[in-house]
Amino acid sequence: MKRLQGNQAVSGKEDDYYFPFPVPNYRFDQRNEMFKRRTWDEEFIPWGNQLYQQVKYKDKYGYRKLDYALRNAAWNIEYGYAFGNMRSNFGLYSWDHIPDKAKRFIEHEGPVSYGPEVNARIVKKAARFLGADLVGISYVHPNLVYSQELDLTTMEHRPVEVPEGCVHAIVMLVAMDYDSCRYSPDAISGASTGLGYSKQAVVANLVAAFIRGLGYRAIPSGNDTALSIPLAMAAGLGELGRNGLLISRKYGPRVRICKVFTDLPLRHDDYKPFGVTQFCMACKKCAHHCPAQAISHGEPTMEGPSLSNFSGVEKWYINPEKCFVFWSKNWMDCNNCVKVCPFNKVEGFFHDIVRYFIRNVPILNPLIVLMDDLLGYGRPVQIRDKNFWEKV
Ligand code: SF4
Ligand code: SF4
């Protein structure tokens, strides 16, 4: 079956830990992910070349050399040092890197552990100190680890395995900037994405160094190695939205996700749904505002429309092919499905009240969507209102 091409069935023998919701009964081959397909799938190579190898400035706010300079600066840590979008176990996401100066501390007196409960508290405190905005801990379900990856630095296609015993995932969210995100789909919005990737690489690297400092294994990961969204959900950090993104309680979908796999004993968090699925039934703002019409207007299904979907459980699947082609035609990535989401709000008392009603009085959901529209959330930023560079 074409959909499973390259993907790997799993035995499901790992029953030692609880995972709070069903996952597909196979492992996804990361070669089939859209950003990897653009290197080997003939249908998408030209689109990939246009997006990644050509430059086209426009005389238009958000697409000028100035705007691209900001976007490229924001991505600089990821593209120049981290390489989490290229392969696993490399750059800032190296699995074993310990600076010489730190080795004597790590080797001295062996590992230190205070038990799963206290370890979890300590690790969360350290992760927040080191830059994570939200932190949770989950079991690493083996089906969520990629069966194989395509290394974009060598084009090698090879199996992925997390080292034995590293069954705990410290999952961390890094919030993207609210204001720049509103400019989607231009380079100013692209800068919010790039900065999220650069920050999460630093956070994952530092948290891995902290775990190694305790004397345990630590495998930092961005988009490589394993699927982030289900791990973040299991770690109590949010729910899956119609837009195919993690919807976190505090920042909505305006987050990037990184994780560190470890053998340090840790207590896992619980899955904490807060009404997103029901709200998405009534909302559909992301589907209406998607310029590629890549987001479903219908009910959840068991299967996605493309080889790039991890099919096999009931959820909303986006069409990554349509999304990617739009990015290429736009010469820039897009955040429309982030910016228009009613869960994407800055912190505040009023928004907390709305979240309370979404969680507890779902009958009000259509009214809340209507209010969101009437208040202008998600409306495209008009040229006359574009003032990213003018505001200090
Ligand atoms: S990123 Fe843009 S094109 Fe892609 S699904 Fe979201 S709104 Fe649609
Ligand atoms: S925009 Fe609406 S439908 Fe889409 S993910 Fe957000 S809440 Fe759900």
Q: What is the mean pLDDT of each run of 10 residues along the chain (392 residues)?
A: 37 64 96 97 96 90 96 97 96 89 77 96 98 98 98 97 96 96 94 98 97 96 98 98 97 98 97 95 95 97 97 97 97 95 88 84 87 80 79 80
- Say yes or no: CB of residue 241 within 6 Å of ligand 2: yes
Q: Where are the alpha helices (DSSP H) in 215-342?
A: 228-234, 276-283, 285-289, 320-330, 336-339
Give the separation between CA 182 and CA 346, rounded to whole angstroms: 12
Q: Are 201 and 97 in contact (CB under 8 A)?
A: no
Ligand 2 within 6 A of CB of 285? yes
The ligand placed nearest to the CA atom of residue 245 is 2
Nearest C-alpha to atom 6 of ligand 1 is from which residue?
337
Within 6 A (CB) of ligand 1 lie 290-292, 294-295, 318, 323, 326, 334, 336-337
What residue ranges do the domains of the chain occupy? 2-271
Strands (E), the chain: 8-9, 26-27, 134-139, 148-150, 157-159, 168-175, 218-221, 239-240, 246-247, 255-262
User: Which of 243, 247, 371 has most ligand 2 atoms within 8 Å of CB, for mutation?
Assistant: 243
Judged by its nearest atom, the ligand closest to the C-alpha of residue 333 is 1
CA of 245 to the centre of ligand 2 (A): 9
| SS3 label, residue 107 | helix
Give me the pLDDT at residue 2, please.
31
Q: Could you identify the atom of ligand 2 that is nearest to the CA of residue 344?
A: 6
Closest ligand by atom to 366 CA: 2
The residue whose C-alpha atom lies closest to atom 7 belonging to ligand 2 is: 280
Mutate to test the pocket of ligand 2, among 255, 285, 317, 373 (most ligand atoms within 8 A of CB): 285
Look at residue 352 and give its three-state secondary structure.
Answer: helix
Which ligand neighbours the alpha carbon of 193 most closely?
Answer: 1
Residue whose CA is at the smallest distance from ligand 1 atom 1 = 334
Helices then strands, each counted (H, E), the chain: 14, 10
For residue 45 the two structure tokens come to 């190579």
| Nearest protein CA to atom 4 of ligand 1, as residue | 323
Query: pLDDT value at position 3?
Result: 33
Token pair, residue 148, equals: 């194989």
Tokens linked to 1? 């079956």
Q: CA angle 349-354-355, nearest 5°?
A: 95
CB of 358 within 6 A of ligand 2: the answer is no
pLDDT in the model for residue 107: 73
| CB-based contact 222:95 (threshold 8 Å) | no
Ligand 2 geometric centre to CA of 285 (Å): 6
Choose one of 239, 276, 286 to mutate for the ligand 2 pocket test, by most ligand atoms within 8 angstroms of C-beta: 286
CB-based contact 372:285 (threshold 8 Å) = yes
Identify residue 356 by its one-letter amino acid code.
Y
Residue 326 has a pLDDT of: 97
Closest residue to atom 3 of ligand 1, CA basis: 323
| Residues sharing a CB contact under 8 Å with residue 44, sequence separation 6 or more, in sequence order | 34, 37, 38, 321, 324, 325
For residue 133, report the distance from its CA to the centre of ligand 1, in Å. 24
Residue 285 CA, closest ligand 2 atom number: 1
For ligand 2, atom 2, the nearest C-alpha belongs to 283
